[in-house]
Structure 1
Amino acid sequence: MSSCKSCKSKTLIVDPVTGNLECSSCGVVQDFNNFEHQTFNADGFVGTNVRLGKSGSGYDYSYHETKLYLAQNVITDILSRLNLEQRFDEVNTMIKTITEDEYGSGNWFNVLVGACVYVVMRKANKLLPLTSVCENVGCDVFELGRMVSRVVEHLDLKLPDFDIVGLFERVFREWVSCKEGVGKGVSVRMMKQGIFLVQCMIKWYVTTGRRPVPVVVAVMVFVCEVNEVEISLEDLAGQLNVAVATCRLRYKELLKRLVDVARENLPWGEDVNVKNVMKSAPLVIQYMEVNSMCDPGKDIKNIENVGVDLDCLVTSCLNQDFRQNESGGWEIEDLETLKVSPECLSAIYSKYLEEYSNMKTSMKKVDDDMIGSEKYDFSVDTEYWSGESALSKKLFLDKILEKDVGLNAMPPSFVNGCVKTQRRKEKIKDAKIRIEKIRRPSMAAKSFDASDDRLLPANSRKRKRKRKKFDLDWEDFVVETLLLHDVKEEEIEKGYYNALLDLHVFQSI
C-alpha cells in the first residue's frame, strides 16, 4: 500500500465525493494517483483529457464492450474499402448470428467479415469478385473461399449461380465504354460481341471449374483487339486482382477454340493457327453468329448413330421434365400416333423451305466473304457483325447449349485427363517390356523393336541423344515398381502413385 507523501502514513482513503486519494492522518490529497492532464490556451482553461477506458462520468468499459467496439470498427473499415458502407447492417447481423453476439479479433475475424460481405453481395445478385475482397481483407483466395463455404453451410444458405455475363458487362462499362474515342455504336457492338464470346466459352466448357474473372479478362482483351481499341491485359488483370499468367492462358484457349472453328468450317481454315487467327477473327465471328441463329431440327437417333453428346446430356439434366425413358428424337411409333392433316403438313413444309432459304442465303454470304478473304479489309468493313444472335443476350445454360456455333468441344480438364491416361498406358507398356526383358531375355528379344532406343543402355545411345532426347524419369521407375508388386494396371492408370506406393510397397515392407 502507498504511503502519504507528507507524513509517510499508510492510512490512505478515497474521498467519496471527489474520488481523490487522501490521508486520514494529515488530510493531504495524494494527486500522483489521480493525475488528469489539463489543457489551456490564450483564453484560459480549456478542459481535461479523459483517460483511456473512461467515460466522462468515470465509467470503465467492459471487455465485451471494448471487443464489440473494435470489431465493428473492423467491419466499417472493410466495407469502406469496398465502397459498401450501406451494407453494414446486413453484414453486422450475419456476423452477430454466426458468432452468437461474441464477435472476435485477429486475422480470422477479418476473413470472416470478408466472407460475410461476399455472401451478402451474392445473395443480392450483386457482382463482387472474390479477389477484390481478398485484397482488402489481407488473405488469399483459398482461405477466403473456405470461410465462405463455412458461412454458407452454417447459415444453411443457397447462393445463386455466379453471373459471369453480368461480370463482363460491369467490367466493360468501367473500362471500355468510358474510353475516349469509343463511340456509342462501337461500344454496343463490342458489348454484344463480348457477351456472345463469353457464352461461347461457357458452351465450350472453358469456364467449367475455372475462376470466372480471367475468362472475362481474356474476352475483353480479344474484343478490344478485334475492334482496334487499345487495352492492356496486364493493367486489366492487376485492376481485377487476378494472375496475369492465368489470363494469358485463358486468352490462348479462346484463340485455340476459334482456330478449331475455322479449321472445321472455313474453306481456308487449314491455314489458320493461333498466330494469325486475329486476321480471320471477324469472319470466324460472323460465321459463328450466323450459325447460332439457325435452328435445325433434331435428328432421329438410332442404333447406328450413337455417340457421346455432352451438350445433350447436360441439357437433359437441366430440363425439369427429363425422364429416363425419354428418347432423343421422334420414333416411328410416335409419328403414327400423331393425327396431322395433309394441309398442316404442307404448311409446315412451306415454312421450313422459307426458313431454309433464308438460312442458305445468309450462309452463302459468309462463304463468299470467306473465299474472298485475301481481299477482305477487316479494319474498314464493320458489317461482319449484326448482333442479332440470341447469344448476344444473357441466356440460361440450357439455352446456351442448344445453340450451334460451329464447334462442340469437350471440357479441357477431361481432355487433359484422357491424354495423361493414355501416356500412363504407354509407360505401363514400356515398363512391362523392360521387366520381361530382364526376366526372360530370349522371349523379349522376339518382340523387342530395335528402333526403340528407350531400352538401350545409356552408353549405347549417346549418339542418338542429340537426335532424340529421351530418358527414363521417376514416373517410369514408380510404374515399374508397382508392376513388380502386382498392382493392377487399371489402378496405375489413375495416377495415384503415392497412395499405391503406401498401400502395396511400403506397408508390405
Structure 2
Amino acid sequence: MENNGSCKNCRKNTLVPDDVTGNLVCTSCDVVQDFDNFQAHIGGVTGAAGTYVRVGTVGAGGTLNYKENKVFESQRLIMDITFKLGISGSKTNEIKVLAEKITEGEYGRGRWFTVFVGACAYVVMRKDGKMLPIVEVADVVDCDVYELGRMIGRVVGFVDLKLPEFDIVNCFERSIRSCPSFDRVSADTIGRMMQQGVFLVQCLIKWFITTGRRPIPVVAAVLVFVGELNEVPVNIDDVANELHVVVGTCKKRYKELLERLVEVARVLPWGKDVTVKNILRNAPFVIQYMEMKSNMICNGKRKSFEHVQSDIEGLLVDCLGKEIGYGICNTSSKDGNLDYFEVSHSSNLSQGSPDRFQISPECLSIIYSRFLDEVSFAKVSAERGMENRRKPQRSYDLQVCTDWWEGKSELSKKLVLMQIFDKDVGLDATPPSFVKGSLAKQRRQEKIINAKGRIHRIMNPYMSDSGNSKALCASEPEKTARKRKKIQMDIDWEDLIIETLLLHNVEDDEIVNGHYNVLLALHVFDNGIARLSSRNCNDDIM
C-alpha cells in the first residue's frame, strides 16, 4: 500500500486512490479526502487531461430520449384535445394517424402543433359527416378562427381532400342537445323544439339568411326563438357564449328572423298590426300558416284539398275564434256571439276542387273587424256589470304553443337544398347582400347626379340654378355688391372621389359599382404618370 499521508478523519495511514475518480479514500473509515487530486495542466492544450473529463459520459443517449419524449408528449396532447372536443374511440386513432402521416412520424412541439392537432380533428370529423364547429375547436386550442382556418386549408391541401358542405341542420340538432341552457328541458319539449327549429332553419336557408354568413349565429338565433316560443327561460347572451360566437352577430340574426316572420304575417287579416315587438304572440299563427303553405304546394303541383282541409279550418278557428292573438283574457264566446267563427265540417268548402275554396283578404278583414268590435263591446260590458271583479289584464299564454304545432310539414325534416327551394312558405325573399348592394348602387347614382350638378355650376356660375338650396357652391356673385355668400358644404370623401372620376371622363356605369381604388389607379394616377413620362420623353427629344 502506497503511503499517501494520514486520513483527515481517523488519522490513519490507510489512504488509497479511487480507480474511477482518482480521489484518495480511506479504507478504514471510507472518507473521501478533499482537494488531494489536483493535477497541474502543463503544456497547453496538448497537456494532461483533467480528472473529471471523460469521453462519452455527457449526453449519452440524449437524441433517442428527446425523440421518444416528443412523441409521448405529442400523443398525450392529441388525447387531451380530443377529450375536450368530445371525440373518442376510432376517431381519435384517425386523428393520430393523420398527424403522423403529415409530420412523417416526427410530430412536433409548441403552439403550432396544438393548432395543427385541432385542424386534424376538424378535418376528420367533417370528412365523416360529423358536425364539429370551427369556433368550438378554436376555443379549445386557444387560437383565432382565421389561424385555425389557414391550418385546416394546409391540412386539406396536403392530403388532397375535398370536405363536404357544412350541414347547418345537423349543427342545430347537435347544439340543442349540447347547450347547457336546455339541460333541464324535458325530452318532449326538446323534440318539439327540434322540429320547430329545423323548420325555421330551412326557411332561413330559403330566405338566403345563411348565404355568405357564419352559420353558428343563425343557429343561436333560432335556438333562442324556439326557446321563447315554448316558454323555456333562455338568454341570447348565454347561448352565444355556449356556442362560442359573438353576441352582437347573434342579435342581428335574431332580428332578421323576426323581420322575415313579420313579412310573412302581412297576408293575415291583422298583418298590418304585426311588428317585431309583438311577432312572438302571432308566431304560432304565422308558423302554422307557413306549414300549411308548404304542404299545399309540392314540386309545382297543388295537393288534394282533403289533406289540408282540417289544417285550414283549425287555423281559421284559432285565428278568428280565440282571444290569444292579442292577449285578451276575457271572452264572450259562451254567449254565442262568436258562432260565425266556427267552421262547420259539413260545409261546402270541402266539396269540389280546391279552386272553389276562395276567401278573399277583404272578407277576412271584415270578419276580423267584427271580431274586434264584439270583443270590445264584451269587455266594456264586463267592466260595467262586475265592479267587484278584478279588471282583466292583457296577457299572453304561450302554453297554446303545444297545441298548434304538429310537425306535419316536410320542412320539419332534413331536406336537400333543391327540395327546400321548391317549398312555398308564404314569402320569397331576396338575399340581404343583394338588397344592400342595390341600395348602395342607388345611393351612388344619386351622388353622381349631384356631383355632375356641382361641376356644372362651378364651370358655369352664371347659369347655376339658385333655387336649389342644397346645392354646393363655393361662391355666388351678387349684382349689387361684390360680396360672396358662403354656403355650408354637405359633401363627404365619396363625393370628392366621384367628382375626381367624372373630371377624368370615367363612365357612370363604372362608378356605380363602387370600385374606387381600381378606378383611381386606372384613370387618375396612371394617366398622370403617363403624361409625366411622355413629357420627359419630349424634353429628351428636344
Q: What TM-score, normalized by structure 2, do the two folds share?
A: 0.68
Q: Using the alignment, how far apart are the partners of 1:482 and 1:199 within structure 2?
A: 44
Equivalent residue number for residue 246 of structure 2: 243
1:228-284 Cα shifts (integer Å, max 9, x gaps): 110111111111110000100100010010011011x21211121212211211111
Q: Kindly provide the amino acid, as one letter, of the partner of residue 94 in structure 1.
A: L
1:191 aligned onto 2:194 = yes
Name the residue aligned to 2:203. Answer: 200
Matched, 1:438 2:455: no
Return the alpha-carbon distance in structure 2 between the equivalents of residues 66 and 224 of structure 1.
Answer: 49
Partner of 2:39: 9
Corresponding residue number in structure 2 for 1:466: none
- Aligned CA distance change for structure 1 residues 34 and 158 (closer, same or farther; 3 Å): closer
* Identical pairs, percent: 47
RMSD: 3.4
- 1:106 paired with 2:110, answer yes
Question: What is the Cα deviation at residue 508 of structure 1?
Answer: 2.9
Residues 94 and 291 from structure 1, CA distance in 2 versus in 1: closer, same or farther, beyond 3 angstroms?
Answer: same
Aligned to 1:118: 122
Alpha-carbon distance, 1:504 to partner? 2.1
Deviations 1:322-342 (A, max 9, x none): xxxxxxxxxxxxxxxxxxxxx
Query: 1:236 and 1:457, CA in 2 relative to 1: closer, same or farther beyond 3 A?
Result: same
Bigger Rg over Cα: 2
Whether the 8 Å CA contact 1:201–1:207 is kept in 2: the answer is yes
Change (3 A) 1:262 1:461: farther
Q: Distance in 2 between matches of 1:121 and 1:488?
A: 51
Please give the residue correspondences for 1:337-356 in structure 2 after superposition, counting only pairs within 5 Å: 355-356=304-305
Inter-CA distance 185–114: structure 2 relative to 1 (3 Å threshold): closer
- Could you say which residue in structure 2 is the equivalent of 1:309? none
Matched residue type, 1:497: Y
Counterpart CA distance in 2 for 1:176 and 1:121 is 22
Instruction: Return closer, same or farther for 1:372/1:505 CA change in 2, 3 Å cut-off.
Output: farther
Matched, 1:366 2:315: yes
The CA deviation at 1:441 is: 3.4
The 5 Å alignment of 1:399-438 reads 399-438=419-458
Q: How do 1:32-181 residues align onto structure 2 when only pairs under 5 Å count?
A: 60-61=63-64, 64-86=67-89, 87-175=91-179, 179-180=183-184
- Quote the residue 1:453 is aligned against: 470
> How far does residue 502 in structure 1 lie from its aligned partner after superposition?
2.3
In structure 2, the CA distance between the partners of 1:60 and 1:184, relative to structure 1 (3 Å rule), is closer
Counterpart residue number, 2:225: 222
- SS of 2:304's equivalent? helix
Offset, 1:104: 3.3
Whole-Å separation in 2 of the counterparts to 1:189 and 1:68: 48
Corresponding residue of 1:345? none
1:46 aligns with none
**Residues 177 and 187, structure 1, Cα contact 8 Å, conserved in 2:** no
Is the contact made by 1:3 and 1:9 (CA closer than 8 Å) also made in structure 2? no
**1:315-334 counterparts in 2 under 5 A?**
none
The Cα offsets for residues 112-145 of structure 1, whole Å up to 9 and x where unpaired, read as 2211110001112112111111112121111111
Q: Distance in 2 between matches of 1:103 and 1:403?
A: 50
Q: What residue ranges of structure 2 are gaps of 5+ in the alignment?
A: 1-20, 24-34, 42-47, 328-396, 476-484, 529-542
1:206-239 CA distance string (max 9 Å, x none): 1111111111110010011111110111111111
Q: Is the 8 A contact 1:116 1:151 kept in 2?
A: yes
How far apart are 1:490 and its partner, in Å? 1.8
Alignment of 1:270 onto 2:290? no
- Note if contact 1:3-1:10 (Cα within 8 Å) is conserved in structure 2: no
Q: What is the CA distance between 1:94 and its match in structure 2?
A: 1.4
Cα 1:62–1:357 change in 2 (3 A) is closer
For the residues of structure 1 that align with 2:139 and 2:523, how far apart are their CA atoms? 45
The CA distance in 2 between the partners of 1:190 and 1:441, in whole Å, is: 68
Change (3 A) 1:443 1:97: farther
1:339-398 per-residue CA deviation (whole Å, 9 max, x = no partner) reads xxxxxxxxxxxxx7x813543553354244334575545534332211111111111111
Following superposition, the deviation at residue 99 of structure 1 comes to 2.8
**Structure 1 CA distance for aligned equivalents of residues 153 and 139 of structure 2:** 19
Q: Is the 8 A contact 2:299 2:423 kept in 1?
A: no
Aligned to 1:329: none
Deviations 1:406-450 (A, max 9, x none): 0011111111111111111111111111111112335553xx7x3
What is the aligned counterpart of 1:394 among 411, 414, 439? 414
Give 2:371's aligned residue: none
Partner of 2:386: none
Q: 1:488 to 1:228 in 2, by over 3 A?
A: same
Partner SS state of residue 404, structure 2? coil
Q: Is the 8 A contact 2:454 2:473 kept in 1?
A: no
Letter in 2 for 1:479: I
- Does the C-alpha gap of structure 1 residues 197 and 434 become closer, same or farther in structure 2, counting only changes over 3 Å? same
Residue aligned with 1:206, SS: coil
The amino acid that maps onto 1:126 is: K
Q: Distance in 2 between matches of 1:169 and 1:141?
A: 23
Give the Cα–Cα distance (whole angstroms) in 1 for the partners of residues 289 and 468 of structure 2: 47
Distance in 2 between the 1:161 and 1:135 partners? Answer: 22
8 A contact 1:95–1:113 mirrored in 2: yes
Consecutive unaligned residues of structure 1, counting only runs of 5 or more, are 12-23, 36-50, 300-351, 463-469
TM-score by length of 1: 0.72
* Shift of residue 178, structure 1, vs aligned partner: 5.5
Measure the CA separation in 1 of the matches of 2:173 and 2:192.
13
Q: Distance in 1 between matches of 2:99 and 2:188?
A: 46
* Inter-partner Cα distance in structure 2 for 1:178 and 1:455: 59
Give 2:304's aligned amino acid. E
Aligned residues: 412
Q: Cα distance, 1:183 vs. partner? A: 3.9
Secondary structure of residue in 2 paired with 1:209 = coil
Amino acid at match of 1:472: I
C-alpha displacement at 1:494, in angstroms?
1.6
Residue aligning to 1:295:
297
